[in-house]
A and B are shown apart, each in its own frame.
Chain A
């Protein structure tokens, strides 16, 4: 059911204070972007004049949500941008390029490769060769980057082989595309940590990609169908008292809040209440005194990068708190956006902007003297690997290790 309070109407709360323009990392890095205030709230309000009216630089917004974080009046600036972008592609479907199609539908490719014998191995090899010969560049991808390699075994196939103690306390894991197909070790670590806390992890194969890459690519109708599928599953489990937990902060933001912002449906709002970011869930356990205390013997100096999509959730930095409490030597980088923003930095035309945005973080990491970077977001980790150091992992992996002593 359509909600009365809709994020798309929050443009009217904008007092044009320019705070969002002042903190927008893209505005700072790229002079062609006219800024969030103008393409989101301002343009959104002008739209009654001409449906086809479009601000060209809107495609430069990365949906990182620093505008939302900085807005004093609760304007969903980034979501307004995404709705504007979707409106444009509705009017101009021909404007979608092959690379838009590919980056927004990575899950299709990943599924297909999983069905082919040696599919993933050959794809990884192909991406390496493609990079070397400039093919990625020709396709419109950032040829200077490595594309994230596919895992030999996806988490969906790995999960059934993990032996878990049975428990009445269950959580439904939403792995998200990156952990499922590129970084399944994070999922394994999650199961270990939940088991150590007396929870049994379950999966549901009906889940589909959260839709974040579809939204930024301007495929809003498809994103809506993904939302409907996921929301139905989440609400079914809510009925059984089983919470849904995600380790990827962009997935958790999408399931918790962005569906409702984009589509304003009451069942989405209801579903959001049954979704937790993984360390948010652990922090709630800790608050109730139910979190198993870890005592780490790891003396590695670490630095934590907080993904923007976690910061936007308004719950602090629970992974940093929990790892610190476990005795890990870890500091907060506090160096702003990494510049990757999901698929954004993988586009050739965004590469330079993306790297410029990340510069402060790269320097902070390099100057910190830390030998390991910890971050909850998969594509942030890809960016850090490319710009600073290869030694990057998800905080869940550190906690799982700490539990082992």
Chain B
């Protein structure tokens, strides 16, 4: 296998962005993928920092990340790099026809699939929950037989948050889709990709449309970019807002598609279904890694490696016994100083972080990995491989993924 300048291991958001930024630096990049990353479970929103350590909502994400605790990835990445990374992301998705709105210093609000609102930093045009604030009437769109979406509950919750001075109404769309299984958001999104489905959907909402109104719809506005969104706001003549949804996340998959398209344009080589198993070193540098299928591994040489294999969910970090976390490719040092008693917080929705969530690879401030107490000079660690943050608690997952990838690729 011909040598690459950069080998990226992992194809979640951190992996794909690492590959893109590296290629934009003029590097020859190979990306090894094993599984679809977190995208089918990922909102595709760029949360930078939603809540502080006390669980209070952050109003200005970029200001708040300046004061995160020591050891937090943002401390290592730095405020300026986070800003640059957000700009880079906005450029990429815009050039791929799926523009995001928002800025580093102001929180955006998104309607969730249960009708609550959550803070985030960058949102695709179709999910701007902020548009609900100024609307006089919120029209909640339910879809007959749609799984995991209870429009009356969404209405009740949203009315509580947005206030009783607005009008709330419900309209139910019938897709008339036949077939033996439950209707998922993806089924409806696929239907909306078709001209017939789209026209039927619009026809069923048209009577409710009007100025000062906003439609809140489950995540069904097509499977690709924002084409359906752009069309439907024109055809209805008022705002439309998509909620987040249960897996598979349509917006996560849309984002994956546009990033993969950007990868392709840059000629980045993607090796699918290749699990990275082992690395070779020369002194304190990684020389190559071995990756492949069940039968045989290939050797991938590079000057620089970026590790983006994820945390416990993705198998990037594993642990058999408490306190003995492992990173399986390079054997990096892993922080898992949580003990059995502090490992998990049983109050899932309380104001405490999860012990296990803080596990990750030890790195220097420039994100270079630590192994056996020493540096690996050409290995950078990004995304959920990093230690020191509970992305779920603080709503920072894609923010850390994006910014760490940007920093590592630029280094």
Binding site for B on A (CB under 8 A): 15, 17-19, 21-23, 28, 30-35, 56-57, 68-74, 256-257, 260-261, 272-273, 275, 280, 283, 287, 311-316, 332, 334
Knowing A257-B295, A315-B298, say if A33 contacts B36 (CB, 8 Å).
Answer: no
Is A17 a contact partner of B275 (Cβ separation < 8 A)?
no
CB pair A72 B314 closer than 8 Å = yes
Nearest CB of B to A126, in Å: 37
Instruction: Known A-B contacts: A32-B179, A72-B310. Give 14 more (CB < 8 A).
Output: A17-B40, A18-B247, A19-B40, A31-B180, A70-B40, A72-B314, A72-B315, A73-B315, A256-B294, A273-B296, A314-B274, A314-B275, A315-B296, A315-B298
Q: Mark B183-198, 1 if CB is under 8 A from A, else 0.
A: 0001100100000000
Assembled-state Cα–Cα distance A15/B293 (Å)? 21
Taking CB atoms, residues of chain B closer than 8 Å to A68 are 273
Q: In the complex, A334 Cα to B275 Cα: how many Å?
A: 20
Check B177 against A31 for contact (C-beta < 8 Å): yes
Q: Which residues of B contact A314 (CB under 8 A)?
A: 34, 271-275, 291-294
Structural contact, B36 and A316, CB atoms closer than 8 A: no
A28-B190, A34-B181, A316-B274 in contact; A70/B292 too (CB < 8 A)? no
User: Chain A contacts of B294 at CB under 8 A?
Assistant: 256-257, 260-261, 272, 314
Asked, given contacts A32-B181, A257-B293, whether A311 binds B272 with beta carbons under 8 Å apart, the answer is: yes
CA gap between A261 and B264 in the complex, in Å: 32
| Chain A CB within 8 A of B138 CB | no
Q: Given known contacts A68-B273, A287-B1, is B295 in contact with A32 (CB within 8 Å)?
A: no
Most buried by B among A35, A72, A73, A287: A72
B178 contacts A by Cβ under 8 Å: yes
In the complex, which residues 293-316 of chain B have their Cβ closer than 8 Å to any Cβ of chain A?
A: 293-296, 298-299, 310, 313-315
Complex CA gap A256/B38 in Å reads 29
Closest to B178 in A: A31
Using CB atoms, name the residue of chain B closest to A32.
B180
The answer to whether A273 touches B295 (Cβ under 8 A) is yes
A93 to B325, alpha carbons, bound, how many Å? 49
CA distance A311 to B186 in the complex (A): 24
Judge whether B269 is part of the interface by a CB distance below 8 angstroms. Answer: yes
Shortest CB-to-CB span from B384 to chain A, Å, is 12
Are B271 and A19 in contact, with the CB atoms below 8 A?
no
- Flag whether B210 is at the interface (Cβ < 8 A): no
Also in contact, A315 and B36, with CB within 8 A (given A31-B180, A34-B181):
no
B271 touches A72 (CB 8 A): no
What chain B residues lie within 8 Å of A19 (beta carbons)?
35-36, 39-41, 248
Say whether B253 faces chain A, with CB atoms less than 8 Å apart: yes
A273 to B295, CA, bound (A): 6
A22 contacts B248, C-beta separation under 8 Å: yes
Q: Chain B residues with Cβ under 8 A from A275's Cβ?
A: 295
Q: B34 to A72, Cβ gap below 8 A?
A: yes
Q: A22-B248, A287-B1, A314-B275 are in contact. Are A70 and B177 (CB under 8 A)?
A: no
Would you call the interface of chain B mostly helix, strand, loop, or mixed? loop
Determine whether the beta carbon of A256 is less than 8 Å from that of B180. Answer: no
Task: List chain B residues, Cβ under 8 A from A283.
Answer: 1
A256 touches B295 (CB 8 A): yes
Interface residues in chain B, defined as those with a beta carbon under 8 Å from any beta carbon in chain A? 1, 34-41, 177-181, 186-187, 190, 247-248, 253, 264, 269, 271-275, 291-296, 298-299, 310, 313-315
Chain B hits for A256, CB < 8 A: 293-296
Residues of A within 8 A of B181 (CB): 31-35, 57
A–B pairs, 5, beta carbons within 8 Å: A32-B180, A33-B181, A72-B35, A256-B293, A315-B274
Residues of B within 8 Å of A313, CB to CB, are: 273, 293, 295
Q: Inside 8 A of B298's CB, which chain A residues have their CB?
A: 315-316
A308 vs chain B, min Cβ distance (A)? 10
Q: Given A33-B181, A316-B298, do A72 and B36 touch, yes or no (CB 8 Å)?
A: yes
> Which residues on B sit within 8 Å (CB–CB) of A35?
181
Q: Are A334 and B264 in contact (CB under 8 A)?
A: yes
- List, in ascending order, chain B residues with CB within 8 A of A261's CB: 294
Using Cβ atoms and an 8 Å threshold, which residues of chain B touch A15? 313
Instruction: Assess whether A315 is in contact with B40, with CB atoms less than 8 Å apart.
Output: no
Chain B residues positioned under 8 Å from A332 (CB to CB): 264
A261-B295 Cα distance, complex, nearest whole Å: 11
Given A21-B248, A257-B294: A73 in contact with B273 (beta carbons within 8 A): no
What are the residues of chain B within 8 A of A23 when measuring CB–CB?
Answer: 36, 40
Interface centre among A23, A31, A57, A280 (most CB of B within 10 A): A31
Q: Which 4 A-B pairs have the closest CB atoms?
A: A31-B179, A72-B35, A314-B293, A22-B248
> Are B295 and A22 in contact, with the CB atoms below 8 A?
no
Task: Given A17-B247, A273-B296, A283-B1, decide whether A57 and B36 contact each other with a Cβ distance below 8 A.
Answer: no
Q: Name the residue of chain A whose CB is nearest to the CB of B187.
A: A31
Q: Cβ of B35 and Cβ of A71 under 8 Å apart?
A: yes
A316–B295 CB distance below 8 A: no
Tell whether A315 pairs with B271 under 8 Å between CB atoms, given A19-B35, A34-B180, A72-B315. yes
* Most interface-central of B187, B190, B296 (chain A CB within 10 A): B296
Contact B248 A316 (CB under 8 A): no
Interchain CB contact (< 8 A) of B272 among A17, A69, A272: A69
How many Å from the CB of A57 to the closest CB on chain B?
6
User: Which single residue of chain A is at the shortest CB-CB distance from B253?
Assistant: A22
Query: When A273-B295, A275-B295 are in contact, do A22 and B36 touch as well, CB less than 8 Å?
Result: yes
Residues in A neighbouring B39, C-beta threshold 8 A: 19
Q: Kindly state the separation between the CA atoms of A225 and B243 in the bound complex, as whole angstroms.
A: 53
B248 contact set on A, CB distance < 8 A: 18-19, 21-22
CA distance A39 to B336 in the complex (A): 36
- Tell me whether B295 and A70 are in contact (CB under 8 A): no
A132 to B291, CA, bound (A): 50
CA distance A18 to B247 in the complex (A): 6
CA distance A34 to B190 in the complex (A): 16
Give the complex CA separation of A206 and B132 in angstroms. Answer: 71
The answer to whether B36 and A70 have CB atoms under 8 Å apart is: yes
Q: Given the known A-B contacts A18-B40, A28-B190, A316-B298, are A70 and B180 also in contact in the complex, defined by CB atoms under 8 Å?
A: no
Within the assembled complex, what's the spacing in Å between the Cα atoms of A33 and B184?
13
Question: Which residue on chain A has the smallest CB distance to residue B310?
Answer: A72
Is the pair B264, A70 in contact by a Cβ cutoff of 8 Å? no
Most buried by B among A22, A69, A313: A22
Instruction: Report the bound CA distance from A334 to B187 in whole Å.
Output: 23
Interface centre among B38, B181, B294, B310 (most CB of A within 10 A): B294
Task: Please report the C-alpha to C-alpha distance between residue A332 and residue B253 in the assembled complex, in whole angstroms.
Answer: 21
CA distance A34 to B181 in the complex (A): 6
* Contact yes or no, A22 B40, CB < 8 A: yes
Contact B186 A22 (CB under 8 A): yes
- What is the CA–CA distance of A315 and B33 in the complex, to the nearest angstrom? 11
Of chain B, the residue at the smallest CB distance from A29 is B190
Q: Report chain A residues within 8 Å CB of B41.
A: 17-19
- Interchain nearest-CB distance for B113 vs A (Å): 14
Q: Which residue of A lies closest to B12 (CB)?
A: A72
Q: Which residues on the B side are within 8 Å of A71 (C-beta)?
A: 35
Find chain A residues with CB under 8 A from B35 CB: 19, 70-73
Which B residue's beta carbon lies closest to that of A334? B264
- Residues from chain A with a CB closer than 8 A to the CB of B177 are 31
Evaluate contact between B293 and A312: CB separation under 8 angstroms: yes
Complex CA distance for A383 and B247, rounded to whole angstroms: 32
**Closest beta carbon of chain A to B229's beta carbon, Å:** 20
**Chain A hits for B264, CB < 8 A:** 332, 334
